[in-house]
Structure 1
Amino acid sequence: MEIFYRAFIVFIMGYLFLRVTGKKAVGEMHSFDLLYIYVLTNIISTPVEVNHIGKSLTYAAIIVILYKIFVRLSLYNKLRWILYDSPTVLIRNGDIDRKGLKKVRMTINELLSQLRVKGYTDSQNIEMAVMEDTGSISVIPMSDYRPIQPNDLNLDVKKEYIPIPLIMDGQILDYNLKYLQLDRRWLLNEVEKAGEKVESIMLATFLENRKIFIDNNQIKEHKNDPYYYKPGKG
């Protein structure tokens, strides 16, 4: 029971500390973001092995406060360039910057791999590629190779609509129904008209035309249609 009690306390307190810190600390990390997670993890896991829960949690609280101070300081431009690494240019006007690659310790193979991930196969088509301070790579293609935008064709497009989930994994999302000013009776009626049962529905979403799309757990058989080939033994 003592081991369980320690593990429970450590887990709950660690979770609360991360909630207080905010989502930024567990997203794409800067140097001190990563350091913060490593240090906090080591500190809050110590009580599982030794009898210093109070002292360990105090240290963890201090680390949280220090981290939040660093985050606040990083909001000031003059200090931001001290706390964060500046972006590094890797490609400019289609030419690979060898000094930039050397600075970030990246090989040309790795750079080309990152470009392929972004959907680009030829470095000559890149206006600029930059490694940001988070370690991610931003790519700006030359104007002739960027995707066509509706504005290029003088097209007026309607606002993008995001389907709203109403059922996920067989559970009704009442807060979304309430937001749409609908009730369970309406939803159950729509599900019944579709010949489905709530518990068998993987996802049901509310569409722009006020109808619902239902994705159940069943996979349609397509026999030997090559367009539905599935790798593996079956």
Structure 2
Amino acid sequence: MPEWIEVALRTLVSIIVLFIMTKILGKRQISQLSLFEYITGITIGSLTAYISLDIESTWFLGIVSLLVWVACSYGIELLTLKSKKMRDLIDGKGTVLIKDGKVMEENLKKERLTADELLEQLRSRNVFRVADVEFALMESSGQVNVLLTREHKSLTPSHLGIQVSPEQEPQTVIMDGKMIDEPLATLGLTREWIKVELDKIAVLLEEVFLGQVDAYGQLTVDVYNDQISVPVPQKKAALYAVLKKCEADLESFGVTAKSKKSKRMYEDCVHQLETVIAELKPILHR
């Protein structure tokens, strides 16, 4: 067998085996490497290259070594799932870098982290002053998580005592210029509804790169041609405007009404409408 064919076959087998092994180890092997997983990843890559190119050696011995490495890594992952002591030993523990607004210099030295690197990590979290940080922790993965002081935290609706409705996942109903039936069925919508909505904004289905429908039935689209400006859905804003206009009209009618009974009726309607607007405001202002 020619060497190039043998190398091609070995590479193909290595890719298949490596794919299977990676699926067994799971996504964490890619996204959140511990020290041992980092070493395992390098070793598996080296073994795969060995299996592919070293045609003078017996190829299945490389497969055996690869299987042993993967089995050990998989076994250690199971141990870390069941035992906190093993988890602390293998993955390590988090290190406090800033506590009560003070930098822990000894912990920085322990993690071999310079002041410049600490500032870089803080800037990656949109924090530019150490004094704004109440607590900072370096996780075992090397990521630094930051807790800002109370006065520097972002203002949220809960701080203002405003109720907002829960966020629901939007459904992608158009992708690459084609409708997707499953999310449409989830929302109880049809293809005809999509066509009507696209007609409203004068966009063809084939021009849409991505289209999503939120929990309130509003379709937003991104088109291939970035020069085209697509109108933003205004249903909620329009509804809020109509409700406020109705409220203003009722107040006007109440002022101009001649009889007390009519005035009282309009005032009652205004109060009822104010209650409705207050309940809908968290939804309409999202």
- If the length of structure 2 is used for normalisation, what is the TM-score? 0.70
The structure with more helix, counted as a fraction of residues:
2
2:26 is the alignment partner of 1:22: yes
Identity of aligned residues (%): 24
1:146 partner amino acid: K
Q: Kindly report which structure 2 residues correspond to 1:48-197, keeping only aligned pairs within 5 A, or say none.
A: 48-51=52-55, 52-75=58-81, 76-197=83-204
Tell me the equivalent position of 1:35. 39
Q: What pairs with 1:208-219 in structure 2 (closer than 5 Å)? A: 208-219=215-226
Matches of 2:21 and 2:220 in 1, distance apart?
A: 39
CA distance in 2, matches of 1:187, 1:148: 37
Q: SS at 1:196's partner residue?
A: coil
- 3-state SS of 1:135 partner: coil
What letter matches 2:79 in structure 1? L
CA distance in 1, matches of 2:209, 2:135: 42
Larger Rg: 2
Task: Write the distance in 2 (CA, Å) between the matches of 1:4 and 1:186.
Answer: 51
**Separation of aligned partners in 2, 1:46 and 1:189:** 58
Q: Structure 1-normalised TM-score?
A: 0.84
Comparing 81-90 with 192-201, greater Cα deviation is found at: 192-201
- The answer for unaligned runs of 5 or more in structure 1 is 223-234
More displaced, 117-126 or 171-180?
171-180
Q: Secondary structure at the match of 2:124?
A: helix
Distance in structure 2 (CA, Å) of the matches to 1:194 and 1:5: 54
Counterpart of 2:131, as a letter, is: Q
1:46 aligns with one of 44, 50, 58:
50
- Please list every run of 5 or more consecutive structure 2 residues that lacks an aligned counterpart in the other structure: 230-286
| Aligned amino acid, residue 197 of structure 1 | L
Query: What is the Cα-based RMSD across aligned positions, in Å?
Result: 2.2
Aligned runs of 1:191-230 on 2, under 5 Å? 191-220=198-227
